[in-house]
Amino acid sequence: MEQLIEYATVMLTIVGAFSTLTVTLLPIAKATETKKDDKILGKINSALQFVLELANKLGLNPRKANASNEKSKA
- Tens-place pLDDT, residues 20-72: 888 899 888 889 888 898 899 889 889 888 888 887 787 766 556 555 555 65
Q: Measured between alpha carbons, how far is 19 from 4 in angstroms, rounded to an integer?
A: 22
- In terms of pTM, does the model score above 0.75? no
pLDDT number for residue 18: 87
pLDDT band at 6 (very low <50, low <70, confident <90, very high): confident
pLDDT band at 7 (very low <50, low <70, confident <90, very high): confident
Residue closest to 23 by CA, chosen among 49, 58, 54, 57: 49
pLDDT number for residue 64: 60
- Tens-place pLDDT, residues 26-38: 888 889 888 898 8
